[in-house]
């Protein structure tokens, strides 16, 4: 059960995040995975990510694709 990439909101590495949907075991499994993680700064938690600019979600997704996933796919052995 190995994956190359994990993409999701930052809450997937926070125990009890996403209204309790992310259990401590899930958060630990995701955080400790050897997969490359691309975390989107979407959170309803009481967390502030200092230094993060307030840009619309579609811009984060575009950046993820153009600046990260494109290069990652080009440089990996994905089939």
Backbone phi and psi for residue 71, each to the nearest 5 degrees, phi listed first: -65, -40
Confidence (pTM): 0.76
Given a cut of 60, is residue 78 above it in pLDDT? no
DSSP β-bridge partners for residue 7:
38
The Cα 10–Cα 14 span in angstroms is 7
Quick: pLDDT tens for 1-42.
789 899 999 999 999 998 899 999 999 999 999 999 999 888
pLDDT band, residue 54 (cuts 50/70/90)? confident
User: CB of 38 within 8 A of CB of 5?
Assistant: yes
The Cα 13–Cα 24 span in angstroms is 9
pLDDT score at 43: 66
């Amino acid at each position: 059960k190995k994956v190359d990439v994990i993409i999701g909101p930052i809450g997937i590495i926070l125990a009890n995040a996403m209204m309790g949907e992310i259990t401590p075991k899930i958060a630990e499994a995701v955080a400790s995975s050897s997969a490359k993680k691309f975390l989107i700064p979407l959170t309803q938690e009481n967390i502030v990510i200092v230094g993060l600019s307030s840009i619309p979600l579609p811009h984060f997704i575009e950046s993820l694709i153009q600046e990260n996933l494109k290069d990652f796919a080009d440089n990996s052995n994905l089939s």
